[in-house]
Amino acid sequence: MNLPPLVQSFVLHFGEMGSRWGINRTVGQIYALLYVSPQPLCADEIVEALGISRSNVSMSLRELQAWNLVLLKHLPDDRRDFFTTPDDVWQILRTLAEERKKREIDPTLSVLREILMQKPGNDDERFAQERMAEMHGLIERLTTWYDDVKQLDTDRLAMLLGLGSRITKLLEAKDRIVSIGRRKPAAREREE
């Protein structure tokens, strides 16, 4: 590996974290490298920079494309493929959230739904099904919320995050806010 020390630390860290993030070392390293590169890189430049085989680069880039984490670019009069990452970090965040949901949440949601359709054969199965219903309910709430939030444009999303601890005051005032939506005064849902 032949990289400026500062970049090398970053790339190596992404490689090490790879397994915790559900990708492998090479995929992590390539992503990190592309992320901090001022220009798009072609496969051979990645081979050169990371000191790994050409075929590994090919497969790893394919994996990154499956995650929608890299962009394919073409330079005039050059038929090689060049790769970058999107440069808006908010966009990267959205993609990451979406892809992880697809891989880590959705399959479980669908298994749960399927099991919940079945009829329990005894008390233990009934109990198990109730537990699964609780899990299913929670995941549904979370994903519904996520589906709403991801519609927000970046400014609004930043605003939501920026709200920070003031979120509490906002929730205290929820009734009033909700009533704007309904155009009618709302009944208090919970008192302090």
Interface segment toward its own copies; rule CB under 8 A; list 40-48, 54-62, 70-78, 123-131? 123-131
Other CB atoms within 10 Å distance of the CB of residue 84: 16
Residues 50-79 as x/- pattern, contact with DNA by CB under 7 A = --xxxxx-xxxxx---------------xx
Rank residues 39 and 154 by Cβ distance to DNA and give the closer one.
39
Question: Among residues 65, 68, 35, 66, which one has the least CA distance to residue 49?
Answer: 35
Q: Nearest-CA neighbor of 14 among 1, 27, 5?
A: 27
Build a one-symbol-per-residue string for 61-80: x at contacts with its own copies by CB under 8 A, - elsewhere: --------------------
- Judged by beta carbon distances under 5 to 8 A according to partner kind, the member of DNA, its own copies, none in contact with residue 104 is its own copies
Find the helix packing angle between 54-66 and 25-36, rounded to 10°: 80
Within positions 110 to 169, which residues make up the interface with DNA, using CB under 7 A?
none
When asked if residue 97 is in the footprint of its own copies (CB under 8 A), the reply is no
| Residue 118 binding target from DNA, its own copies, none, CB below 5 to 8 Å by type | its own copies
Measure Cα distances from 157 to 59, 147, 150, 152, 163 in Å: 34, 13, 8, 6, 10
